[in-house]
Structure 1
């Protein structure tokens, strides 16, 4: 069955509905966001000065926390030593008191009643009564002394617990202030990175080729990347850049450096592998501004054009597969 063509009136009504919907979309659709202007060097330096002032305050707070923590450590150690001494005295007195109680119970000590009943002479009786009173006074003194020892021990326990609590609190405060200061220092490093721009960058973001120079035979662009990485990260196993061997890469052109994480082709430690990740991530973050073309690390390659890691074929070894170093090439 053929469908009848819409009448002129129906078409007009549909056009009206479409116009209303379109008008509504035009009203609710937000305007395209304007791109934020890039900060000038002057603005970056001003922001850096502010960050440095804030950093000084955070470092001062961290320093004060370290001093408080050291005092708390000394107080806690002293309290533990006092408690150990009090516990030793308490144990000794407890042993003596138990021995006295056992002697009284078993009758191994002279019975006070037996001592009195065995006396015939009044003078002897008075003498024995004095001896009994002396023994009673001695026992009372022992009991009173033990009570004092017990109280001293309890006080030492309370003091040790309080100092341990103070130490835990200072540990928490110290760690919190340390992390806060480290985050601020990281912001300062990022700001310093932004102050540097790769030499030879055109207005359209492309890069003019450069000749190697200096004693290490690398380009000014590669030298800047190398210096910034050295300033930010420890690279204890060395940095290898220029190589005369024509292997099709950027090393003989002075446009590549290897940031070593171990020696002799050994697999790096977990800590060094993490350092390699940090270097690679930093290079990715700053690639477009510094003219970094690609990064190779852990048998993967990241290229600025794709902005993603891609797995590479196995070349047979930690060094060949770039497990023991991130490789960075610049334009």
Structure 2
């Protein structure tokens, strides 16, 4: 009995040591525990606002493009109608002076064979002017009317999308207000490299993508657009330790639409970046901001600040360690 107790105690201590070991390993990967932006409610609100803003922005750009095309079409049709107005007036005056004479009377009044040929040619020209010119004139006038109606519709569409963008911006600001999301200085650099644009649909929108390609940073998967952003950043010199896919209960990482870029050159450090590591993070955050339209960036989080296209840089004062407040890595979420 006395020997049994020590054996049980030894087994219990072994189990306890294993549990402590697992806990230490988990805490040694601070980015893996990163909540991607506070609560699940906040992340969902930011995602909804960001996607709504991007869709409205895309529709606004398409409307402005159509407006430019319609304006040019209206300009051309009005210019053509103006030129034809003179010809139409000339036709009207000629018909008035000739009293809409018949073809037979025009030919019978010819005094010689040569004059007869001249009359035939005149009749042919008059017929072309009478029908072709008037038809073209009417077409140009109709085109102008339709272009003006379409332009009015585009103006209404643009006002609608501007209102949607303003509403989505306000939604993002309200969501961030819960974590102290006031205006912030942010990280911007005019010297950031230019990334190659990711593919878009013909209407300018982003293709719907799922987690279908191998993640080069883990054993999981990511979207093609996320892979493109990762590869572009790497090609432009941002090559430090990165993890994109990770299995979590919510957020963008398990969807393959997010990456965590370590500020340190080795792996994630459980401390706030400083010196060269801080400069690296600043440059990387600025890089994603500059290339947001080209890459399809939803938001960037770095050093207690979050950037979205609708709001710019805002304070991000969630509580927790370096991973939670994003002082040891740059978080990137993709549309």
Q: TM-score by structure 2 length?
A: 0.39
Q: TM-score by structure 1 length?
A: 0.39
